[in-house]
Structure 1
């Protein structure tokens, strides 16, 4: 099934070769702002995240995918589904849709373009009945993407001491 191609993007599994791109992504203070975490300061942090994601592919058969811009063949971030195995907002063992792009690629519609096939993959391949999404309340751009791809706002909730919005879509 992978890679998945859209009009402008290629979605594929992350690999250790994506470490520099992942470091650029997570060392960007603009990206970290809505995550309420400190930007990465070393490439080793990016390598650790990639190792964690590779383990998710192995354990669950799904994890976030690398997003590659077709025109430049450049890593621009990640998108896709993750099986959440710890309790969040009174839910456990659910698929969460998410995306994170290097800030210079914001505003081009890439988050929406990459998230749509991830939803389809979740329903068609993973046979999910419901897929959830969440974002910090202040991250209106992310909330807009979730709604553009069809998720419905459910409620606000607290996650790690930060107000979040909770969304869902059923098959």
Structure 2
């Protein structure tokens, strides 16, 4: 089911999103803070989409293709909620990546806030977390504006500096929403 925020339209990913996924995730600029680097080819994007679609089928939630509400066929990013394990812990992970043309407009924060609302209200998740590289200050700011708090460092990438784990519980989120 699609989810809408003030400016964004979020719909579940489908196999035909592979070109858009590769356009965004294959761009070196969008991978500045990603130790794995950009997607190498379209086949890799297709494989990731299959995994994302399987996650949604298995768990009832997952990643969305993100577009502006007034141009719903033009994908500007991908993101969502998924169950992931990092450094020995399993989390309800909030993740996102936007095309460079969408940067600097507050869209990532709007997306994160919408995903939290969906995760806590519709899915009734008890907690939502996110993992961000220590030098990715813009993404840390998005998480903090959305209400997530730094919890601890996690060692999720071999031979790399630790990432930062951010989290918010449903109870904390409801308290922030109410006042």
TM-score by length of 1: 0.91
Give the corresponding residue for 1:113. 110
Separation (CA, whole Å) in 2 of partners of 1:159 and 1:43: 25
Give the corresponding residue for 1:149. 146
- Structure-to-structure mapping, 1:4-153, within 5 angstroms: 4-73=3-72, 74-84=74-84, 86=85, 88-92=86-90, 94-153=91-150
Give the corresponding residue for 1:160. 157
Unaligned runs of 5+ in 2: 171-179
Separation (CA, whole Å) in 2 of partners of 1:26 and 1:90: 26
Q: Secondary structure at the match of 1:159?
A: coil
Retained in 1: the 8 A contact 2:35–2:157? no
The Cα shift of 1:90 comes to: 4.1
1:31-61: CA deviations, max 9, x gaps?
A: 1221112322321111111111000011111
Retained in 2: the 8 A contact 1:32–1:38? yes
Unaligned runs of 5+ in 1: none
Q: Secondary structure at the match of 2:166?
A: strand
Retained in 2: the 8 A contact 1:79–1:111? no
TM superposition outliers: structure 1 runs of 4+ over 4 Å: none
Separation (CA, whole Å) in 2 of partners of 1:32 and 1:169: 25
Aligned residues between the structures? 167
The Cα shift of 1:107 comes to: 0.9
Separation (CA, whole Å) in 1 of partners of 2:66 and 2:24: 12
Q: Secondary structure at the match of 2:89?
A: coil
Retained in 1: the 8 A contact 2:76–2:98? yes
Separation (CA, whole Å) in 2 of partners of 1:116 and 1:122: 10
